[in-house]
Amino acid sequence: MPFVRDDVQMILGMLSAQPGPAMHEMDPASARQMMTMMGSMAERPRPEVAERRDIAIPGPHGHAVPARLYRATLATDAAPVLLFFHGGGWVIGDLEIYDSVCAEICNTLGMTVVSVDYRLAPEHRFPAATEDCLAATRWVAGSPAEIGHPVTGVVPAGDSAGGNLAAVISQELQGQLPVPIIAQWLIYPATDMTEEKGSMAEFADGYLLTKASMDWFNGHYLSAESDRLHRWASPLFTESLAGQPPTLVFTCGLDPLRDQGRAYAGRLIAAGVRTSFREAAGQIHGSITLRGAIPSAQDDLHACLKDLKNLIDEA
């Protein structure tokens, strides 16, 4: 049996005792409601920040991309910005579910954060989410007045599907922006949409995220089987990772996506990229937005933020 933390075992036991259908047995609207409900019960209260307000980013097809700005200070000095892309398999997740963790990141790093509410599938299939996040990154890098200060660099970050998006944004935009991508933070990222073995099989059921849920997400997000091989869906398959920004990869020991994160970190290291790798033993996927129910996840988050600050300071 794999090692499971006591607080993780408690929430897993609680969830297994809940009646009703599993996520992969629901329609997307119901699954979104379930994630919202879980977040309201299991996440920590949002800490106060100097400024928190909703903004609209020009989208790639004339639509507005909702986003939320968090500022640790109202100073107007030039500074970098962290763009956060939320998880949820490109189907669920929103600004509210990630409100507390984005405020925590903002305060702990003393850094402006922009949380991006990209379009979701199945209403907007692949590559709509990627297109929105590319547009948002370009917009922030251009120092728009809405940010409140000149932008000196950007840090793509996100968890799960958001980790996938952050990796793709760095691949696509490194060296293409008016300011540098100074670091990236990939939190239990999805990097290989073809993976069926390893941790995907070992933790296929019983650890919150399941293989059946991943299949459900992919079925809603990807229109064709060939999409799984596209580097925007599976950034692990890109030809070269040389020249990528300094990277922090965080994985969880009980996560079906664990091996994908490990593999991506390994490729970055092999390509000569400054890479920090951290794995939380006995921890589950989704833990950074379950910190109220899993107190040890707060320690994991702050350990990551310490590592990320080191990468940013080095840059």
Tell me the per-residue pLDDT of 200-222, one tens digit each, with 9 for 90 and over. Answer: 999 999 999 999 999 999 999 99
SS3 148: coil
Distances (CA, A) of 31 to 117, 129, 191, 220: 17, 18, 23, 12
288: which 2 tokens?
A: 């950074």
> How would you list the strands of the sheet with 64-71, edge to edge?
51-58, 64-71, 112-116, 79-85, 151-159, 184-187, 247-252, 275-280
> What is the mean pLDDT of the segment spanning 125-131?
98
User: Cα Rg for the chain, rounded, in angstroms?
Assistant: 18
Average pLDDT over residues 144-158: 98
Give Dmax (Cα) for the chain: 53
Pairing of strands 275-280, 151-159: unpaired
Q: Which of 117, 159, 255, 307 is catalytic?
A: 255
Given the residues 285, 287, 300, 307, the one annotated as active site: 285
pLDDT reported for residue 18: 87
Active site residue 160: yes
| Position 1 confidence tier, pLDDT thresholds 50, 70, 90 | confident
255 catalytic residue (yes or no): yes
Residue 180 preceded by cis peptide, ω within 30: no
Distance (Å, rounded) from C-alpha 175 to C-alpha 173? 6
- The backbone torsions φ and ψ at residue 60, rounded to the nearest 5 degrees and listed phi first, read -75, -15
CATH numbers and ranges of domains, the chain: 6-314 (3.40.50.1820)
pLDDT digits (tens, 9 = 90+) for 11-67: 999 989 988 899 999 999 999 999 999 999 999 999 999 999 999 999 999 999 999
pLDDT tens by residue, 86-113: 999 999 999 999 999 999 999 999 999 9
Catalytic pick from 94, 99, 117, 160? 160
Residue of 314, 297, 308, 219 whose CA lies nearest to 44? 297
* Mean per-residue pLDDT of the chain: 97
Q: Output helix, strand, coil percentages for the chain, rounded to the nearest 5.
A: 40, 15, 40
Buried-state track 306-315, b at ≥16 Cβ within 10 A, e below 16 = ebbbebbeeb
